[in-house]
Amino acid sequence: MRQFLSVIAFMLIVIGSFSAYSNLGIPQIEPAPPPTEEVIDLGSMDMGQFLALGDRIFNGKGTCTLCHNSLGRAPMLDQIGSNAQARLDDARYAGSATDIEGYLRESLTDPSAYVVAGFGKAGTNDTESPMPGTESGSIALSGPELAAVLAFLQDNGGLEVTVEIPTDMGDEATDENAAEPGEPRAPFTSFQDLSDEFACEACHTIGEEAGDLGPNLSAIGATRDRDYIRRALLDPNAEIAEGFEEGMMPDDLGTQLYATELELLIDHLSQLK
Amino acid sequence: MRLPRLLQAALVLVGVYLGFIVVFDYMLEAVIPGSLLTMYMFFVTVGVFMVFTYDEERTRELVAPIKAMVENPIYRGARNTVFIVIPLLVGYGVYSRTLPSFEAPVELRTIHPAPPSTAKIYGERVNLLTLENPFRHYQTDDPEIFAEYVQEGAAVYIENCQYCHGDKLDGKGPYAEGLNPTPLNFQDIGTIAQLQESYLYWRIATGGPGLPKEAAPWISSMPVWQEFLTEEEIWKVILFLYDYTGHAPRSWGEAHDAGGH
Amino acid sequence: MRKTLSFGFLASLVALVVCVLAGTGPALAQEAAGFGPAPVLTAADYPTVAGVNGRLVIWIVAQLHLWFAAFVLAVPIFVFIIEAIGMRTRDKRYDDMAYEFIKVSITAYSITAILGGLLLFSLILFYPHLFGYLSTIFSKSMFYYALLFFGESAVLYLYYYGWHWLQGDLRKWIHLSLGLLLNAIGTTLMLLANAWLTFMMSPAGVDPAGVFNGNEWEAIHNFLWNPINIHRFVANIAYGGSIVGAYAAFKFLTARTSQEKAHYDWMGYNANFIAICALLPLPFAGYYLAAEIYAYSQQMGITLMGGIFAWLFIIQAVLIGALFLSANYYLWCGMGRSDGARRYYWAIKYIAIVLIGAFLVWFTPHTLVLTNSELKSLGGPHHSILGPLGIMPAKNTAVNLMIIFTFLSFLIYRRSNKVATVSWEGMGNTLQVALFTAGILNILFLGIYHGYFTNTVYKVAASIPQVLTTFVVIVVSLVLDSFIYRGARDVGPLHWGRIPDRAQYALFLLAVAFTWLMGLMGYIRSGIRQHWHVVDIMRDNSPNAFTPTLGYAANVVSVAAVIFLTLVIFVFWIAKVSSVKTLPAGYWKE
């Protein structure tokens, strides 16, 4: 029993001393808490604050300095002002950017588009970058955050800052989508939907809906024929009803309506008697 | 006569301990950190224990004096003394370790980090790798003008810098004792002699607050001199620093590994 | 003992049923609907059960399960080897020792199964979504895992209970084959479980949103699977050896007869020998794993080696140093078994000086903890002498020297009871000295020259020739020694049991340090995932997603280690109780 107890005591002392050393013998560093999405108020931000935001992301959430530091794990980024153009002109450059801002954006979102010589993944002959894309995965920067980092990189590299502060929190990606021609909408199949969409009743009185900027159309079919109605829709200023002003009605309905919709409108209106 | 083994062990331990102190603190003039020395000595003690006890006979010899002191009534006086003195020593050790002191808590930081390759000085971003002292070329081109600039630099130094860095540039100015980290000793071969002029320009212009992130917390009390001096004054002070100490700035050829430590 | 048997079966049955219900149930439902992306969780998705901290429960239970599993998987490996040695040498002592080893592990086996079931329940309770997601991907392997457990139990019990039945020529061969089968199943089990955890570190077979492509083999064969497999396989053997060594040490201390003492001394020596053999290549398996982690994700690699975890490697260095020192001490103490050992005593203090010196270099941190006055005196945190000792080339050099000198301890231990009879003994010894000198000089040269005087690129690259040098020295020296001592004369019979009690404590230290070290490294392996369940795919959004400090982790590991050791003592005690008979006089009617 005495042996047993002394063995137990010995083991407890050993474990206790390991614990004690880990707690007292080495500095206790509080690891950074998991990163959270920064609440960015872009509306009230000037360029200085925007750059500071980029700096914060660069050194914090973006985890860029893990590799882009003086230890040679990745290219230093304070020289890009003088390097970026040379890289764009390099024969090995395979990306699609045409200016320096585009190049920087591309190297953030698609790091393998151009790999600085000597920094590629081992065995890939500098065709594949070890850097993760910053829009997805563990870094997952939002559009404005990415823009802030870009602006910071330009400033830090001695370039003129060409990035503009995004105006809304919506991702840049959605802005781009809006600028491109959108999906064609499905045609409307009822008069009421069409009337709601193009706000006819804001000006015209049709049945119970009352507007008084344009003529009352509640019984238009009784006085006008189909050709007149078609012309009034496509070219409203050709003939103005008495007592109303010219130029009130939009004259681009012809380019906004589908043919079926135009016919539907004419059918419906000509039957109002 | 062969020394008793207990004494041998004690002598080895004391010898190693003093060896560390003498070698590091006096011969190499690079003090050994207390925390590390404690761990070193712990493992040296373990090693000594191992070597002195792996054999039954040697172990008996080692503990014989201790055993005799504890068990033999002849040594009662010695035993009682030891049994009183050791707990007191341990108690004193615990007391002095737990006693709150005025020393600031230990912080991990880098005071003299590697310089960035560019810095923002006087509102402009300058490239520290290629930046040169605009007055340096007078040293060969026109020594008279050069001597004049050095004199002007000396005046700026005496007016602003010597309070901390000392009138002999040895880091022992009147206020030096109050500062932590201590002001740099420019006479030392390990300081400005290892650095480019552009590094000095960066450190002087941006001061303690201009230290990069890895050097945080920025408790260096070096002021941000770009807010008090002109660009020319800083360059002239740099001329003076090298001239007075007789050092030469690190040459441009090796520009790439200019690390300031 | 029969109770243990049914207990073990019951436990594995429970584990199986739970696996089938929990693991494959959602999986089948998912398969019909196709695979979805990894769930995005909020703090509300983590249930609180009985007010306990879910992460802490999972942490401790998983760690306990791992310790027992490592032990239970390792013991059959060397039992198999020892049994084979016994069959070859026809020395019954080996067979008895192998039987005693497996007897120790049999209760541990059922505890492993119980802890596995507990871990599963805890995962389902505390991390239902994570478990659900993993089980959709690993549906088949989890199912087969559960089935394999049945096979493992059946073979293990047959192997153990049939030990005395399957004796004699052909029967012994059948028994040995059972041992091989047992190891095959056990290793497969480990490989499957490794795949699940390495998937969490280096996911494969899924797209960036976590949608599984249906190829389960791809998910199993992920980037870090094999590096972890190798590391764990080697470490398990070393660990199993150290635990059995502690068992033998305890039996030695409590032995009453000198015969018993001799037996357990011999057993402890063999267990320690196994542990050391597996310990020597372990640092290299570790380097390989770390290098692969680096290759998989630079970010993960730097999190591992830099930042807060950098200090963990200082603790690790202390523990590994403790392992090396206690192993050497045990060898030195063991030399007393031979009457011829005194011839070599002079060498021990030099070995000790090198070992301690290398160890001090090994654990000198790169960033020193300095008080303000020391900072002031140094003028900064950079120490001109100690700084260079903190970086990798110095560590590599130190660990290679430690390995070579540990081997040297072993070499003189082997020589201590022998007198060479070959005529060229003197020349042979000269060759040995030359070999060691050349090897050590080469290691020092590689470390110092390439580490400090050439380009950074060579700093890491130099470690490979260093390891090769160590390896060559060990192999060549062993071969040379076997020739020198061919037909050698024994000094006298070895006195098994003639070893100080202190040496047994070295075995305890080995076992405890190993246990604790495994816990610590488990923390960092899991910790480098940071706030991710599955790296970059499934984020941990629980309140416990933060990385704890080293001190906190060390305390958890300590608590778990104490629980583990308590259970181990219970296991050993049960093994002892099973052979105790009490004769109750007059209790039963005649």
Common-topology check for domains A42-171 and A191-270: yes
pLDDT above 90 for B234: yes
Are the CB atoms for C532 and A138 separated by under 8 Å? yes
Q: Please indicate if any CB of chain A lies within 8 Å of the CB of C305.
A: no
Can you tell me the distance from the alpha carbon of B89 to that of A165, in angstroms, rounded to the nearest whole number? 67
Domains and CATH numbers, chain B: 5-98 (no CATH), 118-257 (1.10.760.10)
Domain regions of chain A by residue span: 42-171, 191-270
Query: CA nearest A159 in B: which residue?
Result: B125
Query: Phi and psi of A176, rounded to 5°?
Result: -60, -40
Contacts 24+ apart (CB under 8 A), A194-203: A194/A261, A194/A264, A194/A265, A198/A253, A198/A256, A203/A248, A203/A249
Q: What is the mean pLDDT of residues A187-198?
A: 78
The residues with which B107 forms a beta bridge, in sequence order, are none
Report which of residues C463 and B31 the model is more confident about.
B31
State the average pLDDT over residues A121-132. 78
Per-residue pLDDT at A14: 92
Tell me the CATH class for A42-171: mainly alpha
Which chain C residue lies closest to A68 (C-alpha atoms)?
Answer: C299
pLDDT digits (tens, 9 = 90+) for B161-200: 999 999 888 888 888 878 777 788 888 766 777 677 888 8
Three-class DSSP labels, A81-96: HHHHHHHHHCCCCCCC
CA torsion, ordered C258, C261, C266, C270, to nearest 10 deg = 180
> Which of A205-214, B2-11, C77-86, C113-122 comes out lowest in average pLDDT?
A205-214
Q: Do B114 and A70 touch (CB under 8 A)?
A: yes
C566 touches chain A (CB under 8 A): no
Q: Is B39 on the interface with A (CB under 8 A)?
A: yes
For residue A210 the two structure tokens come to 């009352």
Q: Does B253 touch chain C (CB under 8 A)?
A: no
User: Is B217 touching C (CB cutoff 8 A)?
Assistant: no
Residues 237-266 of C with CB under 8 A from A: 250, 253-254
Tell me which residue of C203, C211, C204 sits closest to C35, measured CA to CA: C211
What one-character DSSP code corresponds to residue A115? -
Chains that touch B (3 or more CB pairs under 8 A): A, C
Q: Is the dihedral of CA B186, B188, B189, B194 positive or negative?
A: negative
CA dihedral of residues B209, B215, B219, B224 (deg, nearest 10) = -20
| Least CB–CB distance from A25: residue in B39, B106, B127 | B39
**Closest among B220, B195, B193, B198 to B209, alpha carbons compared:** B220
A158 contacts chain B (CB < 8 A)? yes
pLDDT digits (tens, 9 = 90+) for A141-191: 888 888 888 888 888 877 788 888 877 654 444 433 333 344 567 778 888
pLDDT band at residue A38 under the 50/70/90 scheme: low
Structurally, at CATH architecture level, domain A191-270 sits in: Orthogonal Bundle (1.10)
Partner residue opposite C381 with nearest CB, options B32, B47, B111: B111
Provide the token pair at A66: 């893990």
By the CB < 8 Å criterion, does A156 face chain B? yes
Residue among B106, B108, B125 minimizing CB distance to A158: B125
Mutate to test the interface with C, among B12, B16, B49, B50 (most CBs of C within 10 A): B50
Nearest to C104 by CA among C520, C568, C488: C568
Distance to chain B for C380, nearest Cα, Å: 6
In this complex, do A158 and B35 lie within 8 Å of one another by their Cβ atoms? no
Counting residues of chain A whose pLDDT is more than 90, the rounded percentage is 4
Q: Given an 8 Å threshold on Cβ–Cβ distance, is C381 in contact with B108? A: yes
Taking a C-beta distance cutoff of 8 angstroms, is the pair C266, C252 a contact?
no
Give the tens place of pLDDT for each residue, B125-159. 777 777 888 888 888 888 899 999 999 999 999 99
B127 in A contact zone (CB under 8 Å):
yes
**CA-to-CA distance for C163 and C158, rounded, in angstroms?**
8
Instruction: List the single residue in B with minimal CA-CA distance to A157.
Output: B118
One digit per residue, the tens of pLDDT, for chain C of length 590 reads 444 444 444 444 444 444 444 444 444 444 444 777 888 887 778 888 888 888 899 999 999 999 999 999 998 998 998 899 888 888 888 888 899 888 878 888 889 989 999 999 999 989 999 999 999 889 889 999 989 988 998 999 999 998 888 888 888 888 899 999 999 999 999 999 999 999 999 988 888 778 888 888 888 988 899 999 999 999 999 998 999 899 899 889 888 888 889 999 998 998 998 888 888 888 888 888 888 887 787 677 777 776 667 788 888 988 988 889 999 999 999 888 888 888 888 889 999 999 999 999 988 887 777 777 787 777 666 677 787 787 778 888 898 999 999 999 999 998 888 888 888 888 888 999 999 999 999 988 888 887 666 554 455 567 788 888 998 999 999 999 888 888 888 888 888 888 888 899 999 999 999 999 999 999 999 988 888 888 888 888 888 888 888 899 999 999 999 999 999 888 888 877 877 888 878 888 77
C contacts of B50 (beta carbons < 8 Å): 325, 328-329, 332, 352
Mean pLDDT of chain A: 78
ipTM confidence score: 0.83
